[in-house]
């Protein structure tokens, strides 16, 4: 008899598709058919929408209701379609004006009393809608701050279906009290000055931060591996706007944004437990493909403590994203690609008992056990690690030192200065970090000094280093050089990078 | 026409049901539809009204009468299964009346009786 339409968004990974929600109310027995591959949460929307409408004193049509979510081939999930379905239903009954439903995006889950609840993935949904020419979006009030990151669109936050209908019918906004914006209290930032001694590990962390080089920390329990790793985000430069939108969108899909300060402005730090499964690490899920730890750590640090204890294949699943900065997950419902450009930090004990370091006096492991333990980190994975550093137990002298180590702020300043140099150097290139220089560019434009290259080629001839390793050392050498302000990595820079990669003490 | 002096016991429902069917039969006749049979009963069930439209099509009408909406809309109580049962009954009626192969449709009607005894009708034709 009558037709109504509104707009929603279905997410496949970070890609959103604009979905036309069409409602037809036909003669016949009362019934409700929902078409367009809905998942369980979406099928239940019928009862939520019905209760919400009735409790807002709107009528529920006692006729045959057909709801179609188009395109029909795309699997849709989640309760975010409650609101567009309710709006299309009312439009079909001609109780709201048509022009307000055609070009407006609606997002939100309905409570039974008509309140509009927060949903996941608001930012990527808005980005997708904007790309397809939608300029106005109605979002749940609790998602307002996240939605307003998309400043190109007119965002209309609503907390209740009644308020929304009042706006649609009369154009009047019931005043929504502004959320008191607590000044984003800086989360407690861990400072490098807490770390006593460990000069070599500090230097390694700094170089890793400059170029985005992957890091392995080996040392006995209690030496400070975790302390150092946790402090690396604090010396990374703040995210640029484009980067922070990317990070925010990924965390929005995973549902991990804080309501108060949704925009991720600093590098994320993700530390999955070593019992994490492969799906937890790279992402997965059958109805909705969710990002895993390596995507959540995009533009930040992925720290895996006790790396040799990880399940078989979990670490090796990271090999591909380490190379490409991207993880493609294939499931029954489709393929999804999430960005995964992270700085990998692994921590490991040198042996099962943990004491095989320094003079190794108290180690109770057999030589075989020691060899097997670090052997759990596979060769191909280790080949992708740029910096290997031993974190020694502190000696009495180091513990007694009263002066504090450098603070994170000081180190960060140097890191930012070095990154600026790199960014300027690569201003005409597609990449901006030293660790991202393609191997072809390394062989042509971005070679270290001749003496340095001779040194590296000698090591290659002696089979001390693989071809990939050679390139990795060259990239790290650029970071070492940038920190001291060299125009081109010198022999000393390159030797330092080589030593860091091979885990040789300088 | 208003319903009055409802008995307040179990026969109330029967009374209401019969009242609703009468209302619908009158409604159909006023539209020029001829009533062929009322309350045709077999072991499998009952057809409330068998009617024949002016164009010759048989209409089998299920009437639902309610005096309150407390248990939902009357037409909601007709599930898909029930509609198909009506279809089987209709075929059975046609078979016993040597009219097998005739064109037919299943209709549903709801009669709502308000507190003051006034009633409203909803009629849905050809629900299958």
Q: What is the CATH number of the domain that holds B41?
A: 3.40.1350.10
pLDDT of residue A404: 75
pLDDT at residue number B1? 57
According to the model, what pLDDT value does residue A183 have? 46
List, in sequence order, every residue forming a beta bridge with A232; answer none if it has no partner: none
- Residue A386 confidence (pLDDT): 92
Kindly determine whether residue B124 and residue A28, on different chains, have CB atoms separated by under 8 Å: yes
Which pLDDT does position A197 carry in this prediction? 80
Instruction: Give B75's contacts in chain A (Cβ within 8 Å).
Output: 29-30, 62
Q: Which domain holds residue B107?
A: 11-124
Q: Quick one: pLDDT at residue A82?
A: 95
Q: For residue B108, which residues of chain A lie inside 8 Å, CB to CB?
A: 29
> Is the CB of B108 less than 8 angstroms away from the CB of A29?
yes
Q: What is the pLDDT of residue A255?
A: 83
Q: Is B127 on the interface with A (CB under 8 A)?
A: yes
- pLDDT for A187-197, tens place per residue? 667 888 888 88
CB proximity list for A239: less than 8 A, separation 6 or greater: A247, A264, A265, A266, A267, A299
Q: Is residue B3 part of a domain?
A: no
ipTM above 0.95, yes or no: no
pLDDT tens digits, A110-158: 999 999 999 999 999 999 999 999 999 999 998 988 998 888 999 999 9
Contacting residues of B for A30, CB less than 8 Å apart: 73, 75-76
CATH code 3.30.230.10 for A2-170: yes
3-state helix, strand, coil in chain A (%, to 5): 40, 20, 40
State the CATH architecture for A192-394+404-424.
3-Layer(aba) Sandwich (3.40)
User: Does B86 touch chain A if contact means CB atoms closer than 8 Å?
Assistant: no
3-state secondary structure string across chain B: CCCCCCCCCCHHHHHHHHHHHHHHHHHHHHCCCEEEEEEEEECCEEEEEEEECCCCCEEEEEEEEECCCCCCCHHHHCCHHHHHHHHHHHHHHHHHCCCCCCCEEEEEEEEEECCCCCEEEEEECCCC
Are B75 and A62 in contact (CB < 8 Å)?
Answer: yes
Cβ of A27 within 8 Å of Cβ of B124? The answer is yes
Contact of A2 with A94, CB cutoff 8 Å = yes
Under an 8 A CB cutoff, do B78 and A29 touch? yes
Give the per-residue pLDDT at A302.
96
Nearest CA to CA, how far is A50 from chain B (Å)? 13
pLDDT at position A98: 81
Instruction: Please count the structural domains in chain B.
Output: 1
Average pLDDT per block of 10 residues along chain A, 506 residues long: 88 92 89 91 92 92 91 90 94 87 92 93 94 94 89 92 92 64 58 85 94 93 89 92 89 79 83 93 88 94 93 89 90 90 93 78 84 86 90 76 80 94 91 90 90 92 88 94 92 93 73
In this structure, is residue B1 part of a structural domain?
no
**Max Cα distance, chain A (Å):** 88
Query: What is residue A61's three-state secondary structure?
Result: coil
Q: Where are the domains of chain A?
A: 2-170, 192-394+404-424, 437-506
Question: Residue A28: its chain B contacts at CB < 8 A?
Answer: 124, 127
Mean pLDDT of successive 10-residue stretches along chain B, which has 128 residues: 62 86 94 93 93 93 89 84 91 91 91 89 87
In a domain, B6, yes or no: no
């Amino acid at each position: 008899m009558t037709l109504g339409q509104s707009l929603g968004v279905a997410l496949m990974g970070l890609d959103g598709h604009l979905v036309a929600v069409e409602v037809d109310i036909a003669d016949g027995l009362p019934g409700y058919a929902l078409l367009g591959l809905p998942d369980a949460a979406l099928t239940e929307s019928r009862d939520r929408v019905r209760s919400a409408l009735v409790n807002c004193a709107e009528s529920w049509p006692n006729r045959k209701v057909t709801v179609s979510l188009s395109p029909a081939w795309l699997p849709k999930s989640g309760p975010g379609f409650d609101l567009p379905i309710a709006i299309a239903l009312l439009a079909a009954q001609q109780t709201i004006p048509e022009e307000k439903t055609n070009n407006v995006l609606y997002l939100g889950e309905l409570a039974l009393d008509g309140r509009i609840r927060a949903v996941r993935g608001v930012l990527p949904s808005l980005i997708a809608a904007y790309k397809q020419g939608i300029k106005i979006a109605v979002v749940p009030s609790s998602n307002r701050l996240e939605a307003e990151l998309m400043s190109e669109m007119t965002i209309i936050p609503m907390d209740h279906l009644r308020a929304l209908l009042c706006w649609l019918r009369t154009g009047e906004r019931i005043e929504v009290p502004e959320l008191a914006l607590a000044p984003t209290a800086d989360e407690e930032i861990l400072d490098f000055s807490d770390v006593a001694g460990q000069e070599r590990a500090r230097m390694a962390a700094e170089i890793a931060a400059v170029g985005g080089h992957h890091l392995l920390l080996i040392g006995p329990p209690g030496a400070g591996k975790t302390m150092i790793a946790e402090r690396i985000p604090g010396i990374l430069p703040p995210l640029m706007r484009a980067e922070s939108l990317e990070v925010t969108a990924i965390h929005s899909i995973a549902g991990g944004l804080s309501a108060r300060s949704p925009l991720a402005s600093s590098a994320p730090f993700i530390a999955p437990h070593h019992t994490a499964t492969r799906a937890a690490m790279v992402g997965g899920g059958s109805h909705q493909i969710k990002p895993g730890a390596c995507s959540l750590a995009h533009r930040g640090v992925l720290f895996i403590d006790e790396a040799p204890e990880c399940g078989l294949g979990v670490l090796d699943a990271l090999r591909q994203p380490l190379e490409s900065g991207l993880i493609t997950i294939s499931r029954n419902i489709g393929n999804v690609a999430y960005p995964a450009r992270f700085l990998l930090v692994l921590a490991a004990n040198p042996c099962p008992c943990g004491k095989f370091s320094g003079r190794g006096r108290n180690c109770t492991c057999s030589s075989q056990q020691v060899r097997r333990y670090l052997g759990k980190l596979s060769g191909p994975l280790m080949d992708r690690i740029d910096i290997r550093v031993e974190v020694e137990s502190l000696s009495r002298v180091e513990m007694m030192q009263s002066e504090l180590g450098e603070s994170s702020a000081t180190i960060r300043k140097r890191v930012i200065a070095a990154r600026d140099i790199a960014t300027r150097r690569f201003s005409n290139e597609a990449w901006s970090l030293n660790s991202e220089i393609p191997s072809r560019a390394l062989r042509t434009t971005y070679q270290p000094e001749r003496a340095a290259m001779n040194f590296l080629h000698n090591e290659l001839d002696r089979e001390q280093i693989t071809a990939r390793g050679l390139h990795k050392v060259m990239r790290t050498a650029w970071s070492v050089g940038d920190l001291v302000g060299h125009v081109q990595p010198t022999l000393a820079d390159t030797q330092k990078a080589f030593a860091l990669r091979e885990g040789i003490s300088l | 026409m208003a319903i009055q002096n409802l008995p307040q016991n179990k026969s109330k429902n029967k009374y209401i049901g019969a009242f609703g069917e009468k209302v619908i039969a009158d409604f159909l006749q006023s539209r020029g539809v001829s009533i062929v049979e009322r309350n045709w009963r077999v072991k499998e069930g009952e057809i409330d009204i068998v009617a024949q439209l002016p164009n010759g099509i048989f209409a089998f009408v299920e009437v639902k009468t309610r005096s309150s909406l407390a248990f939902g809309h009357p037409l909601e109580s007709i599930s898909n299964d029930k509609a198909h049962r009506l279809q089987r009954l209709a075929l059975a009626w046609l078979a016993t009346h040597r009219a097998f192969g005739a064109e037919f449709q299943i209709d549903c009607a709801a009669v709502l009786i308000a507190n003051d005894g006034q009633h409203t009708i909803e009629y849905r034709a050809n629900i299958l």
